[in-house]
Amino acid sequence: ETSEIETLERLVKYLNTLRPLVMEDVPATGLLPDKQGFAQCTHKVGLVYASAVPVDSYMNQGGKVDFQAKVAELILIGQYYGALKYAAESQRHCGGSGKRRKVFLMPLGGGVFNNPWDIIAKSMAKAIQLLDNSLLAMLDITALVWQGNPS
């Protein structure tokens, strides 16, 4: 049986093979400031679909929570890094010299997936730190937050 330490080491070793689902030129619009309707403006965005590992929730209930949290953190780092690297490299390849690509990072794993907020924030920060300076210079990164009634 593989130990938790060996499992985490393998996950770190092969984390670079994680491939997020990426879409470009997706039509988008936003909400009005009061969140009661949609804004009239439209634009196109790049979208990276990513998810998190549930920690002590869904099918992971009653397991080794510390181990689940370590796995969840590594997966979050991989998801955020993959999205950021893709955004930077696509900006570079599209001739975006001097122009930075705007990236909004959504907190993955909060809510029902039960990922602790410190892991989510730390994973965003680590992913940003993993980018080399030339890639980081291609991005304008913002972390999204929500304020208001969640329903």
pTM: 0.87
Cα separation, 29 vs 120, in Å, equals 26
pLDDT reported for residue 42: 87
pLDDT reported for residue 145: 83
Residue 139 near residue 88 (C-beta atoms within 8 A): yes
Cα separation, 32 vs 101, in Å, equals 23
Query: Which residue blocks in 40-116 are alpha helix, DSSP H?
Result: 65-93
Confidence band, pLDDT 50/70/90 cuts, at residue 148: low
Residue 18 has pLDDT above 60, yes or no: yes
Phi, psi of 56 (to 5 degrees): 50, 40
Confidence band, pLDDT 50/70/90 cuts, at residue 143: very high
In this prediction, residues 19-27 reach a mean pLDDT of 93
Q: Which of 73, 38, 83, 34 lies closest to 53 in space, CA to CA? A: 73
Helix (H, G, I), strand (E, B) or coil at 103: strand
Confidence band, pLDDT 50/70/90 cuts, at residue 150: low
Lowest mean pLDDT among 38-47, 91-100, 114-123: 91-100
Residue 62 has pLDDT above 90, yes or no: no
Residues of the chain with pLDDT > 70: what percent? Answer: 94
